[in-house]
Amino acid sequence: MRLPFGLTKSSILVLDSLAHDGPMYPQEIADKVGLAPRTVTLALRNLLKLNLCRKVANFQDMRKPLYHADIERIRKLEREIDIWRTLASVRARG
């Protein structure tokens, strides 16, 4: 199921985990969220396209890149969603 802005449920779970728990590598995210590693990889790819997270080199282990949530972009997205909800309720009443 696709949600607004091209997000999937798995993308939202991954983004929420990154936003609350800080930078993690894909296997760590999969273990924490309970999703398959491939699902996490696809979710991260989707989040990168939407500029909701960024990939950073992990200098302790270069095979495991770290992913960071872009908190500013998330807040902007939340405001846009709130605006769309408001507009939808105004149109429904009118």
For the stretch 69-82, pLDDT in tens is 999 988 888 887 77
Q: Total structural domains in the chain?
A: 1
Q: What is the pLDDT of residues 34-67, one digit of tens each?
A: 999 999 999 999 999 989 999 999 899 999 999 9
Nearest to 26 by CA among 4, 43, 41, 39: 41
Domain enclosing residue 40, as ranges:
4-93
pTM exceeding the 0.75 threshold for the entire prediction: yes
Cβ proximity of 22 and 16 under 8 Å:
no
CATH code, domain carrying 70:
1.10.10.10
Nearest to 18 by CA among 49, 63, 55: 55
Cβ proximity of 20 and 70 under 8 Å:
no
Lowest-confidence pick of 2-16, 25-39, 61-75: 2-16
